[in-house]
A = this chain, B = another copy of it.
Amino acid sequence: MKIGVLGTGVVGQTIGSKLVQLGHEVMLGSREPANPRAVAWANKENLNKEATQKRALVGTFANAAEFGEIIFNCTLGSASLTALKQAGAENLKGKILLDLSNPIDYSTEAWNLTVSNYDSLGEQIQRTFPETRVVKTLNTMNCEVMVDPNKLSEKTDVFLSGNDSDAKAVVRGLLRDWFGWRSIIDLGDITTSRSVEMFIPLWRSLRLAISSHYFNIKVVGI
Query: Which residues of A are interface residues toward B (Cβ below 8 A)?
Result: 110, 112-113, 116-118, 151-154, 156, 159, 185-188, 191-192, 194-196, 198-199, 201-202, 204-206, 208-210, 212, 214-222
Contacts and interface: CB of A to CB of B under 8 A. Distances in A.
A188 B215 contact: no
Contacts of A215: 219-222
Contact of A209 (B118, B188, B191, B212): B188
A116 B125 CA distance: 22
A202 to B, nearest CB: 4
A113 B211 CA distance: 29
A115 to B, nearest CB: 9
Contacts of A188: 205, 208-209
A194 B201 contact: yes
11 contacts: A110-B191, A117-B117, A151-B222, A187-B206, A188-B205, A195-B205, A196-B205, A198-B198, A198-B202, A210-B221, A214-B222
Nearest to A222: B214
Given A112-B117, A195-B202, A206-B187, A217 B214 contact: no
Contacts of A152: 220-222
B199 A202 contact: yes
B222 A205 contact: no
